[in-house]
């Protein structure tokens, strides 16, 4: 069977969905792999490297997509513009990508109309068996690392303490908001650079993780906080009184630090505002804020997507697609995630697709199939704006947020069942987003 790996066409996307290493593995499975010319250039993967790995180089998108049974992408296919990728895809084609389903209503409708079987890698359940497919973790880990380097790039001081004959340079003070995958990596990176690091999170269990990395945990640790986690490991809604005390503490902390890194995302909703304009004004001149949530509205009230802006003497970094700023490593990790997922769909004996709809990973990841939008979270949820009180919390749990936050829509009308080996998707899909023993990801991918 033919697998297509096209060049990414969305703005700011430098990654590619395969590496020479994963192409070798796909070829070893018995697949014919077509990589579009120049698909890996931005990630430093040459056409020659792909060809040497066993791939055929497609001269353009049409040649790459033609007759492909599966398409591996980073970003979801473009629908309805001059770069429309759906017009060259056959009905029933399996498409694997990061789909951002909650904010992709029009695209999902188009995929359903085109009768594509689309899998959202950002919907992979956060269970132990799926760890090797977890793109949110692999990409957020890199984003957390890069966020510190991006902040250091505009910071006009040194990070570590330096003792010289001319005097002592004090270490930088870094405050990380959110102790998920990106936040923990940001803490570790800032510590390696010699900064004095503190961090906050709404989950009591995160305190131990933060302190294990040598950072100070910042929170109002009263009786309410100690009971602020469910049996499943997720944060509970806090009282208004607690939120007020926590907000005061955070404001006092931000005024004393040199750099703030924010990592909080709520799946399907705008990012919560954690740093207000007033807080920015309270910071010392030359301080830096790095907003990893800028593409979904931003955790800082003054951040601008794709730009570094200066407000009241404070530099606010809002780069788009931060993992893509480390394109080689981000592509390599993503490609491994995708390959591991693809193996679930592939029958090694028949050397063809064989989708087991009883597999909880497959059920939880499929968003469109046979002319319908099939994921229950997309069919029944409703978007809600983030309230003023909620903007003070770091809500990171996908499972808790999807109960009340999905798109306002009616699912596409289901087409009559076809007699194929993949004709029925179970009614309920696995949407659990985490386990108690794993750090929660903020969704930075």
Q: Which residues are known catalytic residues? A: 126, 131, 134, 137, 234
Q: Where are the alpha helices (DSSP H) in 306-441?
A: 327-345, 360-365, 376-380, 398-402
CA distance 281 to 441: 29
Closest CA to 293 of 137, 101, 444: 444
- Measure the CA dihedral 136/137/139/142, to 10°: 150
CA distances from 280 to 283, 296, 299, 311, 329 (A): 5, 20, 12, 8, 33
Return the half-sphere exposure (C-beta side, CA atoms, 13 A cut-off) of residue 355.
25
Q: Output DSSP code: residue 275.
A: B
Contacts 24+ apart (CB under 8 A), 82-88: 83/9, 85/6, 85/9, 85/61, 86/110, 86/111, 86/114, 86/116, 88/61, 88/62
CA distance 115 to 119: 13
Alpha carbon of residue 67 to chain centroid: 30
Q: Give me the phi and psi of 345, to 5 degrees please.
A: -95, -10
End-to-end CA distance of the chain: 29
């Amino acid at each position: 069977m033919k697998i297509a790996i096209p060049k990414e066409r969305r703005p700011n996307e430098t990654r590619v969905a395969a590496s020479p290493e994963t192409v070798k593995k796909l070829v070893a499975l018995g697949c014919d792999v077509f990589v579009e010319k120049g698909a890996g250039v931005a990630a430093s993967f040459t056409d020659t490297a792909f060809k040497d790995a066993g791939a055929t180089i497609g001269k353009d998108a049409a040649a790459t997509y033609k007759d492909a049974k599966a398409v591996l992408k980073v970003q979801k296919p473009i629908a309805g513009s001059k770069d429309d990728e759906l017009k060259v895809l056959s009905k029933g084609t399996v498409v694997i990508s990061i789909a951002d389903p909650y904010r992709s209503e029009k695209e999902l409708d188009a995929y359903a109309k085109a009768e594509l079987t689309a899998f959202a890698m950002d919907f992979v359940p956060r269970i132990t068996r799926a760890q090797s497919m977890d793109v949110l973790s692999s990409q957020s880990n890199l984003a957390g690392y890069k966020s510190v380097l991006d902040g250091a790039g505009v910071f006009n001081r040194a990070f570590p303490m330096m003792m010289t004959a001319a005097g002592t340079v004090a270490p930088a003070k870094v405050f990380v908001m959110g102790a998920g995958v990106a936040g923990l990596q940001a803490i570790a990176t800032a510590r390696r650079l010699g900064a004095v690091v503190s961090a906050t999170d709404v989950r009591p269990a995160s305190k131990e993780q933060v302190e294990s990395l040598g950072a100070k945990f910042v929170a109002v640790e009263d009786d309410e906080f100690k009971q602020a986690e469910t049996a499943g490991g997720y944060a509970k809604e806090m009282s208004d009184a607690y939120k007020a005390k926590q907000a005061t503490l955070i404001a006092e902390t931000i005024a004393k630090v040199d750099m703030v890194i924010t990592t909080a995302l709520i799946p399907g909703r705008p990012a919560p505002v954690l740093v207000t304009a007033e807080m920015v004004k309270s910071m010392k001149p030359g301080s830096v804020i790095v907003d990893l949530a800028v593409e979904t509205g931003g955790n800082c009230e003054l951040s601008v997507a794709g730009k570094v802006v200066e407000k009241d003497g404070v530099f606010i970094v809002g780069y788009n697609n931060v993992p893509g700023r480390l394109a080689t490593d981000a592509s390599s990790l993503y490609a491994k995630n995708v390959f591991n997922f693809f193996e679930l769909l592939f029958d090694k004996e028949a050397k063809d697709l064989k989708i087991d709809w009883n597999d909880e990973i497959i059920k939880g990841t499929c968003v469109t199939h046979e002319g319908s939008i099939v994921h229950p979270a997309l069919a029944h949820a409703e978007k809600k704006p983030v309230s003023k009180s909620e903007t003070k919390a770091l809500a990171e749990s996908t499972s808790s947020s999807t109960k009340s936050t999905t798109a306002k829509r009616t699912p596409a009308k289901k087409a009559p069942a076809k007699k194929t080996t993949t004709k029925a998707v179970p009614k309920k899909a696995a949407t659990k987003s985490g386990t108690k023993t794993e750090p929660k990801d903020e969704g930075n991918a």
